[in-house]
Amino acid sequence: MEPIQAAQAVDFSLMALFTRASLTVQIVMVILIIASVWGWAIIIRKFLTFANARREAARFDRAFWSGEPLDDLYDRLGENPKGASERIFAAGMTEWRRSHREDGKLIPGGLQRIDRAMNVAIQREEARLFRGLSFLATVGSTAPFIGLFGTVWGIKTAFEGIAMSQDTSLAVVAPGIAEALLATALGLLAAIPAVIFYNKLSGDAERIVGNWEAFADEFSTLLSRQLDEA
């Protein structure tokens, strides 16, 4: 059989390339496939989480600026608010009530404690919002090199096969090279979406956190104005 015909007779499907690869290359491929699937799961979950956070923030803003007394809004939300904006507001209101003396006056340093309480709540929500994004960053930075390692190892194995068979025909070289390059392809397949969506999701998360911080500043200003008017 001619070399080209022999090469054409070899199965170059993805499953065939995987099964023919050495154990080391197969492990690399499995790691990259798991990283890619896990990364997409994080991406989808974060899109849903961020969309829900924006809806919740818009809903709370309407309630906050509706003219309803803040104490009534706080009592209506209860002790365990569901949304992030609600939890930040509740943290400030809880400290606001704790910072009043029996005569109704604010104890010294009360506003600073309210600001700190809301900042702690924001940091807690921020950590929850960014959770999982570090994995995308790790995949984006390491997956190409993991795939390259698989490629180098596969090429090494292919050359070893060439040396043992003393045959440099296309039928001998092509399958091993194809198996090796598949590892690089999987590395890029995992890394490219991870990098793109890490940047996208990080920017979205920072904007959401910025809105929380702006709300905390506005809320603190309202409380300060109430004290000045009292």
pLDDT digits (tens, 9 = 90+) for 33-43: 999 999 999 99
Q: What is the pLDDT of residue 103?
A: 63
Confidence of residue 201 (pLDDT cuts 50, 70, 90): very high
Other beta carbons within 10 angstroms of residue 7's beta carbon come to: 18
Q: Is the pTM of this model over 0.85?
A: no
Which uninterrupted H or E stretch holds 66? none
Proportion of the chain above pLDDT 90, given as a percent: 47
Burial of 185 (0-12, 13-18, 19+ CB in 10 A): middle
**Mean pLDDT (whole number) for 197-204:** 95
